[in-house]
Chain A
Amino acid sequence: MSSIATTRIQRELKDIKESNNQSIKIELKSDEFNNLRGEIVGPSGTPYQDGMYKLSIKIPETYPFNPPIVSFDTRIWHPNISSVTGAICLDILKDQWAAALTLRTVLLSLQALLSAAEPDDPQDAVVAKQYKDNQKAFVKTARFWAQYYANAPGPRDTDCVEKLRKASEMGFYKDISLQALSTHSWDLENAIQYLTSC
């Protein structure tokens, strides 16, 4: 790893510790500086509120002249993040990356992205469609995913719990059932039909 990248990462880790911002965290996965683990807290006033989202951060050899490669390890229901792979569509992680940006600014931008989705530039077309056509179902799904995958506190939506139970009782894996139900805006019949057809 280049010396600039190593000093930068060391410096950035120190800065984040000192900044005392409880809502973002970054730590080393091993002794290597090219593989980091990040964590952000879902911003309040959003369906993701108080969820703990784990991120995997890979630092390229040419950092900070090229952007870090960031993806969500915790599954999330958001128009700009793939609900399946966790890939992120965010301009500063692509062509808008600037060498003067830091991991801290990246994580803060991700938090901002959770607060304000960009459905016109979607990563996950299914989620984006729901976001635009059926905002209510979107909020319900996003909240349930936050509780289910990201340990967000609060009582879970009984309708969701019930339908998920029914689907998994039919022998489908829970993750797959949840994905199907979410895709079909919690229409149990359609979701089951979809599950049986594939």
Chain B
Amino acid sequence: MESDDDYYEDDIDPDDYDDGHNFDNEDVEVDEGYLGESSVDARISSYNPDLGDDDPYPYECLSADKVVGLMNEIIREVNDIVNIPSTTLRILLAHFNWDKELLLEKYYEYEGNQERIFAEAHVISPLKSKSLARRKSGRSIEQACEICCNNYSSSFMTGLDCGHSFCKGCWSQYLCTKIIDEGMSQTISCPEFECDIIVDDAVVMNLITDQKVCRKYQHLITNSFVMCNPLLKWCPAPDCHHVIKVEYRDKRPVKCECGREFCFDCGESWHDPVLCMHLRKWLKKCDDDSETSHWISANTKECPKCQVTIEKDGGCNHMVCRNQACKHEFCWVCLGPWDPHGASWYNCNRYNAEEAKKARDLQESSREMLQRYLFYCNRYMNHLQSLKFEHKLYARIKRKMEEMQQLNMSWIEVQFLKRAVDVLCQCRQTLMYTYVFAFFLKRNNQSIIFEGNQADVEKATELLSEYLERDVTTASLGEIKQKVQDKYRYCDSRRNVLLRHVHEGYDKDWWEYIETS
């Protein structure tokens, strides 16, 4: 029984979700007639056809400050269980990618031998450091700083629990270089050679006086927290410092406070029905024309593990991914993991006749591929372009709505026009991504059905678009409403049919994909 309760609690949390009551109407016994009607209406407005199923996807939009709060909360929670100073705990948690369960599990697994965890996380065990710390208090002798080679009184020298001390001036410059130039935060170690003890945030905040550096450091810490946490994601909009927090990871749309709607899984604009993987390939292909992407493709490769784009800046092929949460080691030449290269590096040096033949074959088919690509790209771009123009339409429709309100129509009565443009935009967006989906699709019976659906939506969308652009301005106001509503409802329903079909295909493995270079 208990597990049943958990299941419902985890999956649907009606109190937290605005539309939750609409789905729960069977449980609530109120006036039948009233509820019946309202639930029909609500279904139209709250049913999200993009999902293909009805369960809500709960998420929260957090400001950067709230993220810091969340981070501190985790530290506090763990601190309640194990009594470790919070500065040390922060490093430990970062080491375990902010997975507090994993940290606690390891902590108790190594019971009695917890030194090992501290060593792995590159911190001095707080149990040990108490006995060894603060040995230089009181006496004031001159000491030479190994970085700047000047002598200072020992009160001006400072260091971590590892015992290596340097003058405060050098410390501050050292930290600035690491933070500003190298963008490091939680992996800055003691400046001593071969000392890997990590500098904790209290020390950094103490030694850095420049506010700019402090802010950057805090931002980096927050950023690495967000990057490490699979349930958090930065809003991709430029200059938006919000974070979306979900309860479980999924390919679902989320909407930031700033208005940007994006796919939680890949961070691109919400792109139903195409898969993240295909959209990624597509966008890369589309960008290929620009100078930047020429440079990117010529000079960078993607980390084979976390897909972050990497530029090689040195001669040797042993790459270590800088992404804090990844740190994958791989070979630049073959992109395989580095480990086996120790012994057989030259596998990626050898000319592979089979590979070369494959490359030649690919080149031949690439001409045909190009034609195909241009076909789909053309249509994709066309909808993208139209989508941009619809913003003008919004302005025009708004004027129209004001006009209609002056002619004795109520505010609520004219809302259908805005709704029509909303639907138009949704349809354009969906259509745009259906071309991406189609580009990767192999022809089979289901794909023919898909193309039929696509043609339907496209035709209906164009009719709606044309009507809103032209006729709506001339026709008499009374007639418009019925026509517009008919048109957008048809569009919307065709769009739902199309999406449902694609989703069904995903569930039932109907779709086959072509290989692309």
Q: Which of B43-51, B190-198, B394-402, B501-509 contacts A (4 or more CB under 8 A)?
A: B190-198
Count of chain B residues with a beta carbon within 8 Å of a chain A beta carbon: 31
Contact between chains at B146 and A100 (CB < 8 Å): yes
Contact between chains at A123 and B349 (CB < 8 Å): no
How close is A91's CB to chain B, nearest CB, in angstroms?
10
Contact between chains at A4 and B148 (CB < 8 Å): yes
Count of chain A residues with a beta carbon within 8 Å of a chain B beta carbon: 29
Contact between chains at B173 and A65 (CB < 8 Å): yes
Determine whether A1 belongs to the interface, using a CB cutoff of 8 Å to chain B.
no
Q: Give Cα A7–Cα B346 distance, bound, in whole angstroms.
A: 45
Contact between chains at A4 and B173 (CB < 8 Å): yes
Q: Give Cα A101–Cα B173 distance, bound, in whole angstroms.
A: 16
Contact between chains at B147 and A99 (CB < 8 Å): yes
Determine whether A168 belongs to the interface, using a CB cutoff of 8 Å to chain B.
no
Looking at the complex, which one of B181, B192, B320 makes contact with A98 (CB distance below 8 Å)?
A: B192
Q: Which chain A residues in 122-177 approach chain B with CB under 8 Å?
A: 122-123, 125, 128-129, 132
Determine whether A46 belongs to the interface, using a CB cutoff of 8 Å to chain B.
no
Looking at the complex, which one of A89, A98, A101, A120 makes contact with B343 (CB distance below 8 Å)?
A: A120
Q: Give Cα A150–Cα B150 distance, bound, in whole angstroms.
A: 38
Looking at the complex, which one of A87, A98, A120 makes contact with B193 (CB distance below 8 Å)?
A: A98
Q: Give Cα A92–Cα B194 distance, bound, in whole angstroms.
A: 10
List residues of chain A with CB within 8 A of the CB of B318.
121
Q: Which chain B residues in 169-194 approach chain A with CB under 8 Å?
A: 169-170, 173-174, 177-178, 181, 191-194
Q: Which chain A residues in 101-122 approach chain B with CB under 8 Å?
A: 101, 105, 120-122
Q: Which chain A residues in 47-65 approach chain B with CB under 8 Å?
A: 62, 64-65
Contact between chains at B173 and A123 (CB < 8 Å): no
Q: Which residue of A lies closest to B148 (CB)?
A: A4
Say what secondary structure dominates the interface of chain A: loop
Q: Which chain B residues in 194-238 approach chain A with CB under 8 Å?
A: 194-195
Q: Give Cα A109–Cα B365 distance, bound, in whole angstroms.
A: 52
Contact between chains at B181 and A66 (CB < 8 Å): yes
Q: Give Cα A7–Cα B320 distance, bound, in whole angstroms.
A: 34
Looking at the complex, which one of B147, B177, B317, B343 makes contact with A66 (CB distance below 8 Å)?
A: B177
Determine whether A184 belongs to the interface, using a CB cutoff of 8 Å to chain B.
no
Q: Give Cα A132–Cα B341 distance, bound, in whole angstroms.
A: 13
Contact between chains at A65 and B174 (CB < 8 Å): yes
Known: A120-B343, A121-B316, A121-B318. A99 touches B174 (CB 8 A): yes
Contact between chains at A98 and B149 (CB < 8 Å): no
Determine whether A37 belongs to the interface, using a CB cutoff of 8 Å to chain B.
no
Contact between chains at B349 and A125 (CB < 8 Å): yes
List residues of chain A with CB within 8 A of the CB of B195.
98
Contact between chains at A98 and B349 (CB < 8 Å): no
Determine whether A82 belongs to the interface, using a CB cutoff of 8 Å to chain B.
yes
List residues of chain A with CB within 8 A of the CB of B149.
7-8, 11-12
Q: Give Cα A8–Cα B170 distance, bound, in whole angstroms.
A: 12
Determine whether A17 belongs to the interface, using a CB cutoff of 8 Å to chain B.
no
Contact between chains at A98 and B194 (CB < 8 Å): yes
Contact between chains at A99 and B314 (CB < 8 Å): no
Q: Give Cα A94–Cα B313 distance, bound, in whole angstroms.
A: 10
Known: A65-B173, A120-B345. A98 touches B315 (CB 8 A): no
Contact between chains at B316 and A89 (CB < 8 Å): yes
List residues of chain B with CB within 8 A of the CB of A95.
320
List residues of chain A with CB within 8 A of the CB of B343.
120
- Interface flags for B361-388 (1: CB within 8 Å of A; 0: not) read 0000000000000000000000000000
Contact between chains at A99 and B170 (CB < 8 Å): yes
Determine whether B112 belongs to the interface, using a CB cutoff of 8 Å to chain A.
no
How close is A89's CB to chain B, nearest CB, in angstroms?
4
Q: Give Cα A114–Cα B146 distance, bound, in whole angstroms.
A: 27
Determine whether B478 belongs to the interface, using a CB cutoff of 8 Å to chain A.
no
Contact between chains at B170 and A123 (CB < 8 Å): no
Q: Which chain B residues in 271-326 approach chain A with CB under 8 Å?
A: 314-318, 320
Q: Which residue of B lies closest to A119 (CB)?
A: B345
Q: Give Cα A120–Cα B317 distance, bound, in whole angstroms.
A: 10
Contact between chains at B346 and A129 (CB < 8 Å): yes
Q: Which residue of A lies closest to B346 (CB)?
A: A129
- Interface flags for A57-92 (1: CB within 8 Å of B; 0: not) read 000001011100000000000000010000101001
Q: Give Cα A95–Cα B178 distance, bound, in whole angstroms.
A: 11
How close is B165's CB to chain A, nearest CB, in angstroms?
11
Q: Give Cα A63–Cα B89 distance, bound, in whole angstroms.
A: 32
Q: Give Cα A159–Cα B499 distance, bound, in whole angstroms.
A: 76
Q: Give Cα A93–Cα B151 distance, bound, in whole angstroms.
A: 27
How close is A47's CB to chain B, nearest CB, in angstroms?
22
List residues of chain B with CB within 8 A of the CB of A120.
341-343, 345
List residues of chain B with CB within 8 A of the CB of A4.
147-148, 169-170, 173
List residues of chain A with CB within 8 A of the CB of B170.
4, 99
Q: Which residue of B lies closest to A5 (CB)?
A: B148
Known: A100-B192, A120-B342. A7 touches B315 (CB 8 A): no
Q: Give Cα A65–Cα B178 distance, bound, in whole angstroms.
A: 8
Q: Which 10 A-B pairs have the closest CB atoms?
A: A99-B191, A65-B177, A98-B193, A11-B149, A89-B316, A120-B342, A100-B146, A100-B192, A99-B147, A87-B315
Partner-A contacts on B (CB < 8 A):
146-150, 164, 166, 169-170, 173-174, 177-178, 181, 191-195, 314-318, 320, 341-343, 345-346, 349
Q: What are 15 contact pairs spanning A and B, CB under 8 A?
A: A4-B173, A7-B150, A8-B149, A62-B177, A65-B173, A82-B315, A89-B314, A98-B192, A99-B147, A100-B193, A120-B345, A122-B345, A123-B316, A125-B346, A129-B349
A100-B193, A129-B349 given; name 19 further pairs at CB < 8 Å.
Answer: A4-B148, A7-B148, A7-B150, A11-B149, A64-B147, A65-B178, A94-B314, A98-B191, A99-B147, A99-B166, A99-B174, A100-B146, A105-B193, A120-B342, A121-B318, A123-B315, A123-B316, A128-B345, A132-B346
